[in-house]
Amino acid sequence: MLLVCFIDREGLMEHGAGGRKLAWCLLVALLSVASAEVFFEERFDDGWEDRWVKSDWKKDENTAGDWNHTAGKWSGDANDKGIQTYPDFRFFAISAQFPEFSNKDKSLVFQFSVKHEQKLDCGGGYMKLLSGDIDQKKFSGETAYSIMFGPDICGYSTKKVHAILSRDGKNHLIKKQVPCKTDQLTHLYTFIIRPDATYSILVDNEEKESGNLTSDWDLLPPKQIKDPDAKKPDDWDDNEYIPDPEDKKPEGYDDIPKEITDPDAKKPDDWDDEEDGEWTPPTIPNPEYKGPWKQKKIKNPNYSGKWKAPMIDNPDFEDDPDLYVFPNLKYVGIELWQVKSGSLFDNVLLTDDPEYAKKVAEETWGKLKDAEKAAFDEAEKKKEEEEKANTTDDDTDEDDSDADDSDHEDSNEKDDETTKENTSKHDEL
């Protein structure tokens, strides 16, 4: 790193900044960072609204959500603002445009931070990259995108990082389960796609998943398929068991009756053949009867195993060395449905340099995370104490009102205690 300082005397005159010397110091990193190409970077400082377009989507149904420019209820720096979803039960859609680019022969790093202050129980916290030309005022859940990336939480079953890649109009989900953070603090999500078609997913600057686009998404047709022309050979014996030819039905087996007359039954003494009809003894199950005869089974010595069609090269497979390329990236957007709002997005970055992204991550999220955690703990403590105080207050209130009530019966001095007065009046009625 090199420290460059310019002393600008003209600036001194123009701005008339007293007798002080005016100096601008620029930190110029000469290493890899110097070569980083930044396609888009947004810290949501003042003026962010000029760069982002709120969509009109769902406005006519009055279910379009809005964005609060804030650092949130707890933060590491109250001046470091992002944009936060509000109110509850809304659709959110907002996007920003950047000069169109292709990531061919370059790494693509897509990074942002999100804090779910509301303790997100069901909703998305992801962002999208879109290509080509879109009408940002109409950006919606229906708008085709190229990449969707970030956390998604719903109930106990869905707590994952989405990494969806679109190809030929179809969206392909990553086949691996990448868990996301579920607490109420800011977390950083980074998706890196490299020209060798490998990728990494980082959470809080730590690699959580990696691999390649071919194996972890179904972007291409399979390389091999079951031979559709293969047929099971006629002499293929797929019976694992056969009847045991040695096992023969015992002679007279079928003559054994299912039921027999009860040998212990006796005609009742008062049975009257003329009135009651002829007495027939009741039947009982025959203990000798063993059901229909079944031949024993033995392993088939000629068993050839389960038949499977052999795999052949898929004629529809065509390898694509540009599988990782998104040639017309042009917008970044947030499009969500949230039951409980309060997700705060910040520090959106699109670059070709994972090292630069790492550096930005440390300077933003990394620098503030401990202070934010402390602020959150403080807020939680305060809430807890308030809750405790409220409970004790309630107890005292009850005691007080009992006492007040008896007072009121004698004198009506306390005009400010309208509620209690009304209550006691009701009691009297």
Ligand X SMILES: *[C@@H]1O[C@H](CO)[C@@H](O)[C@H](O)[C@H]1NC(C)=O
Identify which of 185, 174, 144 has the alpha carbon closest to the alpha carbon of residue 335.
Answer: 144
Nearer to ligand X, 99 or 301 (CB): 301
| 82 is a site residue for ligand X (CB under 6 A) | no
| 390 is a site residue for ligand X (CB under 6 A) | yes
Smallest gap, in angstroms, from Cβ of residue 344 to ligand X?
9
| 214 is a site residue for ligand X (CB under 6 A) | yes
Smallest gap, in angstroms, from Cβ of residue 170 to ligand X?
20
- Contact residue for ligand X among 177, 419, 426, 429 (CB under 6 A): 419
CB contact at 8 A, 216 and 175: yes
- Contact residue for ligand X among 59, 267, 383, 414 (CB under 6 A): 383
Omega into 87 within 30° of 0, i.e. cis? yes
**Cα gap 239→302, rounded to integer Å:** 9
- Contact residue for ligand X among 11, 195, 211, 366 (CB under 6 A): 211
CA 205 to chain centre: 19
Output the 3-class SS for 293-339: CCCCEEECCCCCCCCCCCEEECCCCCCCCCCCCCCCEEEEEEEEEEC
| 68 is a site residue for ligand X (CB under 6 A) | yes
**Cα gap 310→228, rounded to integer Å:** 9
Nearer to ligand X, 215 or 224 (CB): 215
Nearer to ligand X, 154 or 225 (CB): 225
- Contact residue for ligand X among 210, 212, 304, 314 (CB under 6 A): 212
CB contact at 8 A, 342 and 118: yes
Cβ-Cβ contacts under 8 Å for 422 (sequence gap 6 or more) = none
CB contact at 8 A, 106 and 352: yes
How many other C-beta atoms can be found within 10 angstroms of the C-beta atom of residue 378?
11
| 72 is a site residue for ligand X (CB under 6 A) | yes
- SS3 state at 182: coil
| 182 is a site residue for ligand X (CB under 6 A) | no
Q: Would the annotation count 37 as a binding residue?
A: no
- Contact residue for ligand X among 22, 70, 195, 405 (CB under 6 A): 70
Nearer to ligand X, 197 or 329 (CB): 197
| 337 is a site residue for ligand X (CB under 6 A) | no
Which residues define the annotated binding site for an alpha-D-glucoside? 126, 128, 145, 152, 335
Binding positions for ligand X, rule: CB under 6 A: 68, 70, 72-73, 86, 197, 211-212, 214-215, 242, 301-302, 383, 386-387, 390, 418-419, 422
